[in-house]
Structure 1
Amino acid sequence: MTIPDDDNARSGGDEGDERMTSVEILLPEGLAREARLAGLFDSDQIAQILRKHLRLETFRLEHESRSGPPSEPPMTSEEIQAEIDAYRASRRRPSGS
């Protein structure tokens, strides 16, 4: 992928008077054909795809930084089943026991 310096940027676009940058990418021929047929080579479509990805990535990074690594490993299916069995057994006991 080639992204020229800002010297080659032009102004305009859907975000007010935002400077624009020309980007050249190399894609497999089949993928390029499908994207072209789907209308995804339109500048507005590409900008929308990039903005969405950047929002999702920002959200993911913020979520990871808040939650941090898990304090203990996730339960195995056997451990989950043991918890379910213990709960069910406790519900079956008479209330006086």
Structure 2
Amino acid sequence: MTTIEITLPDALAAEASGAGLLAPEAIERLLRDKLASDRIVRLQDARAALAADPPEVLTRQEINEEISAYRKGQRLAAGS
């Protein structure tokens, strides 16, 4: 576990404490919710970017060539 210290204005600290928001469980929940929300926003941004500029569609042959090249690289890296 990590211990953190934060500095808040007195009025905000009192109000947050009164609402139970300074309890470790509450802070953990707030942080996890914020991190999840940020991940969703990044995912939505990535989806919008892909929709605006979709990648080139590969043919089945191109996909197989990419797979073969990857496998060859893996064999070479393994010394086979």
| TM tier relative to shorter chain | 0.5 to 0.7
Structure showing greater Rg? 1
Alignment partner of 1:35 out of 5, 13, 16: 16
Flag as ranges the 4+ runs of structure 1 deviating above 6 A. Answer: none
Q: What is the Cα-based RMSD across aligned positions, in Å?
A: 1.8
Specify every segment of 5 or more residues in structure 2 that has no aligned partner in the other structure, as ranges: 53-80
**Separation (CA, whole Å) in 2 of partners of 1:53 and 1:66:** 20
TM-score (norm 2): 0.60
The number of aligned residues is 52
Which protein has the bigger strand share?
1
Identity %: 35
Which protein has the bigger helix share?
2
**1:26: Cα distance to partner?**
0.6
TM-score (norm 1): 0.50
**Separation (CA, whole Å) in 1 of partners of 2:25 and 2:9:** 22
